[in-house]
Structure 1
Amino acid sequence: MAIGVGIIGCGGISAHHLRGYQQSDARLVMVADPNEEAARRRAEEAGCAWVTDYRDLLQCDEIDLVSVCVPNWLHYEVSAAAIEAGKAVLCEKPMTTRVSDSEALVKLVEARGAFLQVGYMKRYHPAFQRFKELVGEIGGVETGLLRSYQPFPERLWTDPQMWHTQKDKAGGGPLVHAGSHMIDILCWCCGEVAAVDARVRMRPGTDVDWYTNAILEMKSGATILLEVGWFQHTNFGRHHDGWDELLQLRSPKGVLTIYSVFWNRADALVPVVEFYREEDRTTQVLAFGPVDYFVEEVVDVVSRVASGREPAITAHDGYRVDRVIDAIYRSGERAGRLSLDKE
């Protein structure tokens, strides 16, 4: 029998989850959003029931799995409630807006033996999967560059409806919204971050970061340079759409680079992996896609929940990213190196 699914939060990101569920073996049962119009619209698209209080959705016995698509500051509250209600959870990133909440959620997942997967969907793209495989072929990574610049209209910085630029609601600025994905990829491919030394430039008139530069010291001994920010550079980047995001890793054996694409255009644009090998002094260019990584993510989560398997991207993975981001912010405040092992 198909598992029952509910979607909590009917904003823009929920459309990507819905598309995935519609291509999976799951049965959409209900959606929830305090905005009645948003809930009704998404329910009509899904062909299911709707409610305005997510707690009513969690009381539905037909629902086995919920997508948590609410704004960032509600991730912890809704995910914890869903776990307490016995539901499996696919939670959008970041897992929470406070590292203490992330730690608490990890403990709750462990205590309940619950299923919680964090929505770092880039891992589901074959380009990123091949990139991870090739990391082993260049040997021990010594240094690298993590860059994530996204086009951000100037008018949105002062838009009172734009919760993404409010610390208490978003958890941070571009480091949270953009950098978190690439930090997850870095840790997935290269292991844990041991220490950070960051400089964070706050956007004037707000309490969130504008752009961040940092040195990430990996437990492996590698050093990664990080730069993340929002600028209105709308005709810049490989596709002239303002998106400038890459992860590059270097070793004596070669250089491995992945160029990402606009987050909601992966089903139309193609990420590229470049692999330079010093042994034969050649550069291999690998293109993958287009692939809808939201669909791949949701279909896999449904399969894992239905078969009783563990999540692919765990609460521990979400906590790891949140902890690195928190360390970068605190390092920026003190303008000095901060060791994660001593915190």
Structure 2
Amino acid sequence: MKRSKIKTILIGLGRICSGLESDPFRKKPCTHMGVLQSEWGKDRFELVLGLDTKEEKCQEFQSLWKAETKQVSPDPSKSEFPKNIQLAVISTPSAFHEDWAKHCIRSGIPNLLIEKPVALTKAGAKRIHTLAKKHKTRVWINHERRYHPSYQYVKDQLIKGNLGNLKSIRASVFTSAKNPGFAFSKLGGGPLLHDGTHAVDLIHWFLGKPKLVDAKLERPKKGSVESRAVAWLQTKTGVEIFLDVSGGRDYFQFELDLHTDTHRIICSNDGFQFYLSETSKLYKGFRSLVPYEPKQFPKPETSNAFLGIYEEISQVIAGKKQTLEGTLSDNIEILDLIESIYRRKQ
């Protein structure tokens, strides 16, 4: 029996929508359009229309993908959508997520996938949540690492106790932007909101919402968004978490360094590393961490987070799955935690 394809629109035709697909080093697909145009995606989704406020973006997208596009007003309420759309993917700049989400919900689109952060503020996320609940709209947020088999493996092993009892996490998100405060100033938030949200989301996913113990912000100039955010967090069970999100580095790094009472696990964009406590060959009477490769760790060729989130969307729409991995309620708590860091007096 031939499956019914999910009629989809893309709103915002830039970098995460399709631009990154041209990166020769990234594992494909790595964008929304990359998924929709993959053999897997074309079997499940039908792109009806791509929308953007800029004519050049529409032309570029149309030329690259041979897809129909439409230039729309910066005011979402002035835009009309094709009939019977089942999924809207909102990949506009963050400042416009909330207005587009609310317009899609009011227009009767039953499923939304919104790029992170879902809104610039907790209050904005709550407004989307209230409206979505009223219209019974399902909303996914593209914190894609939740859908990456490698991160899923680590979480599963921690829950089962196979990696020991978690004691601390060092989370770092570093970028090469020389003046990230200025770079993000037009977007309504700094690197903590726009990049660090991925690390905060994973911490929340692994452990639930931690409490803020202390924080420090560095700003390029008075009144600007931060160039660096450093925070000390703690869970109810006593797991200590140290978060550092900043620019001004000569490299890019995303990393969670987890320490349990028996293991160390490094989860990074550069790869995953596992260490196990064994009798030390360096110091008599001590134990040392020794690298090893877990037998059940997912193979790189099977690991793709973008395919993972779209698989869940297709399963839920088809009625084969009921739950969503990352809920709006989770994202409200994530934004609440980020705002508590911003509110910390310096």
Aligned equivalent of 1:30 = 49
Q: Which moved more, 1:178-187 or 1:201-210?
A: 201-210
1:283 aligned onto 2:306: no
Contact 1:20–1:299, Cα closer than 8 Å, also in 2: no
Deviations 1:44-88, CA, capped at 9 Å, x for gaps: 444433222255765311311011011111011111111122211
With normalisation by structure 2, the TM-score equals 0.81
3-state SS, counterpart of residue 12 of structure 1: coil
**How far is 1:210 from its partner?**
0.8
- Residues 157 and 49 (structure 1 numbering): CA distance in 2 closer, same or farther, change over 3 Å? same
Aligned equivalent of 1:313 = 326
3-state SS, counterpart of residue 247 of structure 2: strand
Quick one: distance in 2 between partners of 1:278 and 1:322? 40
3-state SS, counterpart of residue 221 of structure 1: coil
With normalisation by structure 1, the TM-score equals 0.81
Aligned equivalent of 1:146 = 171
3-state SS, counterpart of residue 272 of structure 1: strand
Deviations 1:146-167, CA, capped at 9 Å, x for gaps: 111122255x765xxxxx521x
Q: Which moved more, 1:93-102 or 1:122-131?
A: 122-131
Contact 2:181–2:219, Cα closer than 8 Å, also in 1: no
Aligned equivalent of 1:100 = 123
Quick one: distance in 2 between partners of 1:284 and 1:304? 37
Quick one: distance in 1 between partners of 2:211 and 2:236? 5
Aligned equivalent of 1:79 = 101
Q: Which amino acid letter does the alignment assign opposite residue 45 of structure 2?
A: A
Which residues of 2 match residues 190-339 of structure 1 at below 5 A? 190-204=207-221, 207-233=224-250, 242-261=251-270, 271-277=271-277, 282-285=290-293, 288-289=299-300, 291-307=303-319, 309-331=322-344, 334-335=345-346
Q: Which moved more, 1:210-219 or 1:37-46?
A: 37-46
- Residues 302 and 57 (structure 1 numbering): CA distance in 2 closer, same or farther, change over 3 Å? farther
Deviations 1:265-306, CA, capped at 9 Å, x for gaps: xxxxxx213242469964324675254432333343233333
Quick one: distance in 2 between partners of 1:44 and 1:219? 53
Q: Which moved more, 1:92-101 or 1:41-50?
A: 41-50
Larger radius of gyration: 2
Contact 1:20–1:297, Cα closer than 8 Å, also in 2: no
**How far is 1:311 from its partner?**
2.7
3-state SS, counterpart of residue 13 of structure 1: coil
Aligned equivalent of 1:116 = 139
Quick one: distance in 2 between partners of 1:57 and 1:296? 30
**How far is 1:317 from its partner?**
2.2
Deviations 1:239-289, CA, capped at 9 Å, x for gaps: xxx12221122232332221224xxxxxxxxx2132424699643246752
Quick one: distance in 2 between partners of 1:80 and 1:40? 26
**How far is 1:130 from its partner?**
1.6
3-state SS, counterpart of residue 227 of structure 1: strand
3-state SS, counterpart of residue 16 of structure 2: helix
Aligned residues: 308
Give the unaligned 5+ runs of structure 2.
19-30, 280-286
Contact 1:245–1:259, Cα closer than 8 Å, also in 2: yes
- Residues 46 and 317 (structure 1 numbering): CA distance in 2 closer, same or farther, change over 3 Å? farther
**How far is 1:26 from its partner?**
0.4
3-state SS, counterpart of residue 8 of structure 2: strand
Aligned equivalent of 1:268 = none
- Residues 191 and 139 (structure 1 numbering): CA distance in 2 closer, same or farther, change over 3 Å? farther
**How far is 1:3 from its partner?**
1.2
1:17 aligned onto 2:20: no
Contact 1:73–1:171, Cα closer than 8 Å, also in 2: yes
1:186 aligned onto 2:203: yes
Contact 1:216–1:224, Cα closer than 8 Å, also in 2: yes
Give the unaligned 5+ runs of structure 1.
159-163, 234-241, 262-270, 336-343
